[in-house]
Structure 1
């Protein structure tokens, strides 16, 4: 690469940055021409290319990139003082190209129209509406838990292999998209991450590789969490970057799945998040509702809590903080707390399309 080319690439970074900030002010434009125009084509191409491969190509690419970075540092460390301008320019170019690729291949979805607007939902809801919805969710979660175990004190164990769970996610999206066509999903590309141990250290259950459009699942998390987690990551694949929106779509896909273990995962998920919000608003109502939960469901919650407690480490807060700042930098003002905003979508969607009889 010539010095002239390097300078042109380097100079493009501020132009990219300004252009993205301007486009972010026009979510309707991004929704129409990127999220429902260019992006579906890009994402399908990558899922067709990589989806059939049984392991994560994205993780392989990250490994190669890591090796190349270490090699570059090793080769240039001693030369930095004499050739610092060249080294800094090289680093700046890599950042510029990565920034461009990230936004072209996936990142512009952060600036699309909010889901509550595209679904024509209210944004606010009362505590009374929340409590009523939570009561119905708990009743349904209890019923499904008992249907599976025939004992309200036994936790649910999912009897499927990971590969079976990944295949079964298709049914949920097919059923949900029959009602909401914008969530149509084709060409599955779900993988267990090669770096599941690292994801556990970071405190994450999964992630989407924006450069290969592969959905990565942390293979170490409790299996009963797989259905909703896999469905959540698939929501990212079809262009919903916001965590609360991916939570909602993943939950709805699991809820609409014909498989009872997926339904349990969805009700379990909704109960957990709704109870957290009830506690925040009205601790007394939380205590009243909590005791109506079957002990078997509580054991599933305890299983997850024990898993993350067992893998607690001093690096986790740092990773969480970094991801929080990443979300805030990408149009999610609530940062990592935006995961909990899914309750607003659930309650208000239920008003318009009753989820629980």
Structure 2
């Protein structure tokens, strides 16, 4: 039978879906077998092999795939979708391959142990603890802001090129590896996305290509945001698939970074999470605490806000909704809105670290 392999692949798709749903409740198995077993080896192979390329191979693959989809659709339209058994089998077979590769090369990490368990950090906190941490972050943000600018009303400008920011990002992982061996990063594969402008209009700072293991950064964003974005994407690359976990890792790496500009980016990034959660719990207290921030820090926040406002478009909510649904389907119940868990990790991390500040 001519299309027997395609039929077999199409039939395997529902079986794959069943297996994935069974693994959702077996976090220890996924953690030991995949996230600490198969994945680190696969990830290093991809990083070492594709990291040497000066361009994003994954972006190129995506571009070719989109062209092939368009070509396939044109062909179907021209034939008026005749022979449905044939083209439906083709489509299901292709989806089956993509589904398999996605989970093999990265996607199983969505079902691993929560980060607070693997790093042995508690995930609960009180409003009083949140307020205390927010006060400390404001104090540290103001302190490092003044150290850099010597003017509490001046915003911070990152003095590095984008290539230099990437190099310094990797240094942050080298620095923290001693305390967190899980964050050991070798075989750099951190790249500018070819699709930075489209990503901007879609509302994304960056992404990890799950098929090539490349961390992609949208380099059109405000430079002030690139240190935490790049650190976030490396967190994904190391197997921490959930957005809130990668955000905490970005805080962890940048706040402990030897470079003062990265520490400023990290402290203010963590502070925005705490202020966001405090606003949800106690709006009046949040507004009081914002008044304690240096005007220059607020200018940096406004700079980021203005950038995204300038690039708003009618399609952005669609992309955000689509990605939010994707996260929910992949074991992230809160989707893009995951302030509380990031804050919980921050509160308990600093509660456990002596002289954190």
CA offsets per residue over residues 8-36 of structure 1, 9 Å max, x none?
11111111111111112110111111001
Q: Which residue of 2 aligns with 1:72?
A: 72
Q: Which residue of 2 aligns with 1:137?
A: 137
| TM value normalised by structure 2 | 0.98
In structure 2, how many angstroms separate the alpha carbons of the residues matched to 1:201 and 1:339? 23
In structure 1, how many angstroms separate the alpha carbons of the residues matched to 2:71 and 2:316? 27
Q: Which residue of 1 aligns with 2:170?
A: 170
Question: Shift in Å at residue 77 of structure 1?
Answer: 1.7
**How many aligned positions are there?**
357
Question: Shift in Å at residue 121 of structure 1?
Answer: 2.1
Secondary structure (helix, strand or coil) at the match of 2:113 reads coil
Is contact 1:137–1:356 with CA below 8 Å preserved after alignment?
Answer: no
Seen in structure 2, the aligned counterparts of structure 1 residues 354 and 300 have a Cα distance that, compared at 3 Å, is farther
Secondary structure (helix, strand or coil) at the match of 1:77 reads helix
Q: How does 1:14-93 map to 2 (within 5 A)?
A: 14-93=14-93
Q: Which residue of 1 aligns with 2:151?
A: 151
In structure 1, how many angstroms separate the alpha carbons of the residues matched to 2:355 and 2:211? 35
Is contact 1:208–1:237 with CA below 8 Å preserved after alignment?
Answer: yes
Is contact 2:224–2:265 with CA below 8 Å preserved after alignment?
Answer: yes
In structure 2, how many angstroms separate the alpha carbons of the residues matched to 1:2 and 1:26? 39
CA offsets per residue over residues 169-214 of structure 1, 9 Å max, x none?
1221112111011111111111111111110111000000001111
Q: Which residue of 1 aligns with 2:248?
A: 248
Question: Shift in Å at residue 339 of structure 1?
Answer: 5.3
| TM value normalised by structure 1 | 0.98
**Residue range with higher mean Cα deviation, 274-283 or 1-10:** 1-10
Divergent runs of 4+, >4 A: none
Is contact 1:196–1:218 with CA below 8 Å preserved after alignment?
Answer: yes
Seen in structure 2, the aligned counterparts of structure 1 residues 12 and 152 have a Cα distance that, compared at 3 Å, is same
Secondary structure (helix, strand or coil) at the match of 1:252 reads helix
- Computed over aligned residues only, the root mean square deviation of the Cα atoms, in angstroms, reads 1.2
Question: Shift in Å at residue 315 of structure 1?
Answer: 0.6
In structure 1, how many angstroms separate the alpha carbons of the residues matched to 2:60 and 2:42? 20
Q: Which residue of 2 aligns with 1:356?
A: 356
Is contact 1:173–1:183 with CA below 8 Å preserved after alignment?
Answer: yes
* Structure 1 residues without counterparts, runs of 5 or longer: none
CA offsets per residue over residues 73-105 of structure 1, 9 Å max, x none?
222322244212211111111111100000000
Q: Which residue of 2 aligns with 1:341?
A: 341
Is contact 1:243–1:339 with CA below 8 Å preserved after alignment?
Answer: no
In structure 2, how many angstroms separate the alpha carbons of the residues matched to 1:2 and 1:159? 61
Secondary structure (helix, strand or coil) at the match of 1:351 reads helix
Secondary structure (helix, strand or coil) at the match of 1:216 reads strand
Q: How does 1:302-313 map to 2 (within 5 A)?
A: 302-313=302-313
In structure 2, how many angstroms separate the alpha carbons of the residues matched to 1:81 and 1:49? 40
